Amino acid sequence: MTTTRHDLRRPAPPAPRAAWRVPSSWPQALIYAGAVAVLLLWWHGTRSVTGLDGWLTEAGRVTGLMAGYGCAVLLALMARIPALERGVGTDRLARWHAMGGRYTVCLACAHALLIIWGYAVTSRTDVVHQTVSIVFDYPEMIKGTLGFLLLVGVGVTSARAARRRLRYETWHYLHFATYLAIYLAFWHQLADGAQFAGTTWAKAAWYALYGGVGLVLVWFRFVMPVVRGLRHGLRVAAVHAEAPGVVSIYMTGRHLDELRARPGQFFRWRFLAPGLWWAANPYSLSEPVRGGRLRITVKAAGDHSAALFRLRPGTRVWAEGPYGGFTGARPHHDRALLLAGGVGITPLRTLFETLPGDVVLLYKARRPEDLALRDELDAIAAARGARVYYFVSEPAGYALPLTGEALHSLVPDVRHRDVYLCGPPGMTGAALAALKQAGVRRRHIRHESFEF
């Protein structure tokens, strides 16, 4: 396929000074340490366990405590703490959040069933009568029951099979019910939890846990976006078509160097326009920050992204970030392979321009006209002496089979390169398998997914 040469309009700015990032092992160690502390809290408040009713009841109490702790962890993981997002990576945090959500819902269900069963054995009654008694006779139990039902409902709608049938906007709204569920369950735990009865320090610790997480959540998800929105004064400058169903949105603002955005990172963008202001959606920068300008490149994949095509110059924008560990920091090799599929080219375009050393880009799309930003990629390749290969599914004969053999034939030294991968789920899954076949170590592959 032919390559057109272009000169870049401006040289890429130097990489911003690296911001502090939390090592990825620290959050896991902290989560496990907190779980041990919760188990010790249960142990300290439990004198003895005897009989079937005792074992059932205590099992219900410990699962309830762990479910409560799990709720706090879920909120912390999605608080958008910049150092955590950079050090762990947004995609990994999202996976931890999803896995933790499943555990938390299962623990909450086990807590409810075991407590009811244990109390029924103690009272020598059936579980139906015991359920009615617990819900209506115990303090804060109506709140606790509503919180439990909301939590289970959010868990059901977050299951993969359910998410596929929901629009992102619908799922996003339903997920807000988690905050109400956790709020209701919190007061139920303090009022009915045996470990908190008459134990001031235990209550203080629980207040500190939830209060600390709540402050972090409010600060990074609500206060900071407003502060930065006022500070940087971002506005839409232009909307430019790049390919069928793909546009670039140019934004200008003040003090953008303070954002310290690195190539490959993304922001959550909130466009203050009718129908868009309520949602902050993630889009990667599609060029390095240049002076007072930012750019994202978006494909119409839903109601929100399609509405961005109609943005008018002058629209106010709030940007949360930068987020993500999909950058050139801490490389393993002095060479890199970039694998892009469709609009996944957006973060890779910035890396193609800025990564040092020998860089090869493989870009897959469905049709030739779907190869967004191609002129810029050709210009970068010419300016730095890099290689870029384009592959399309239509017409036949120009596709790239994602196999280890195919990758090795194009890039013989693929095993000795850092690999950056971004594209739709099917493509990235096949690419990961092909890279494994080609002998690339998993820790040398950087990949971030923005699926909800």
pLDDT in the model for residue 11: 43
Better-scored residue on pLDDT, 320 or 163: 320
pTM recorded for the entire structure: 0.76
For 36-45, the pLDDT digits (tens) are 999 999 998 8
Q: Do 229 and 280 contact (CB within 8 A), yes or no?
A: no
For 22-32, the pLDDT digits (tens) are 666 788 899 99
For 386-445, the pLDDT digits (tens) are 999 999 988 877 888 889 999 999 999 999 999 999 998 888 899 999 999 999 999 899
pLDDT category of residue 154 using cuts at 50, 70 and 90: confident
pLDDT in the model for residue 12: 47
For 31-90, the pLDDT digits (tens) are 999 999 999 999 988 888 889 999 999 999 999 999 999 999 999 998 888 888 777 777
Statement: residue 91 has pLDDT above 90:
no
152-189 residues labelled b (16+ CB within 10 A) or e (exposed): eebbebbeeeeeeeeebeebbebeebbeebbebbbebb
pLDDT category of residue 9 using cuts at 50, 70 and 90: very low
pLDDT in the model for residue 451: 54
For 305-363, the pLDDT digits (tens) are 888 999 999 999 999 888 888 888 888 999 999 999 988 999 999 999 999 999 999 99
Q: What is the DSSP string of 197-226?
A: TT-HHHHHHHHHHHHHHHHHHHIIIIIHHH
In whole angstroms, give the CA distance from residue 329 to residue 420.
12
Strands (E), 324-400: 335-341, 358-365, 387-392
- Residue 67: both structure tokens together: 């479910």
pLDDT in the model for residue 302: 74
Strands (E), 325-413: 335-341, 358-365, 387-392
Helices (H) and strands (E) in the chain, counts: 16, 11
Tabulate helix, strand, coil % of the chain (nearest 5).
55, 15, 30
| Residue corresponding to tokens 């990564």 | 355
* Average pLDDT, integer, range 352-376: 93
In whole angstroms, give the CA distance from residue 452 to residue 447.
15
For 273-311, the pLDDT digits (tens) are 988 887 788 899 999 988 889 999 999 877 778 889 999
